[in-house]
Amino acid sequence: MFYLSLIEHKMLLPPRLLNLPLQDAIKEELQNIFLDKVISKLGLCISIYDIRKIDGGFISPGEGASTYTVEFRMIVFRPFVGEIISAKLKESTADGLHLSLGFFDDITIPAGLIQKPSRHVPDPENRYKVLWLWEFNGEEFFVDGIDEIKFKVISVTYPPIPIEQQGEPFAPMVITVSLTSYLQCRNVVVFHDGLIFLKECFYAGDQLMVMV
């Protein structure tokens, strides 16, 4: 799930950071550039682990920023195929389920890809929200957010970035997960391939695409 990646990056060091020790200043600017962003083929940037090498320091005429080439290691989040990941339900809307990993909140299961038969109903505790439920053997089981949802990663892809962002190295990350032949009853788990964990019992199948 987490990897240590070696990266080389050419960067401008803003004049406002020149009062700091060089390594501290460069680390702060690297954090501003990379943290909480997705790099295509690499993953979500979590933390700067260490700085291995710093070259340069040239200041172009008419500019106050110095240019450095930095080699550093960064901790990145990138699920691997076959991995089982747990997430908490953050919000249910008519558009689908919104999940959170704690450090990352932008996981969604669109309404059109939620396991069938399913539907949403008004939340009795909040008329502005909804609750999703599955129907199985004539019974209805709610996704209430009490327990974690688990899913199996089938593939991780990086769609082409929009034209207006071609100057940036960042792109969204798409995780495809599988929910197949699975029945969950309280603390009893029976599964075949992928899985999802809820408080009550329901049947899950097919594939979902989770946008990250």
Q: What is the pLDDT of residues 144-154, one digit of tens each?
A: 777 777 777 77
Q: Indicate if 84-211 has the same CATH topology as 2-77.
A: no
CATH number of 84-211: 2.40.50
pLDDT of 176: 65
Tokens of 122: 């008004």
Q: Provide the residue-wise pLDDT of the chain in tens; the chain has 212 residues.
A: 899 999 999 999 998 998 999 999 999 999 999 998 888 888 889 999 999 999 988 887 777 788 999 999 999 998 888 888 888 888 888 888 788 888 877 777 777 767 778 888 888 888 888 988 877 777 877 777 777 777 777 778 777 765 455 555 554 777 765 443 333 433 333 333 333 433 333 334 433 333 33
pLDDT of 164: 52
Which class is domain 2-77? Answer: alpha beta
pLDDT of 31: 95
Enumerate the domain spans of the chain: 2-77, 84-211
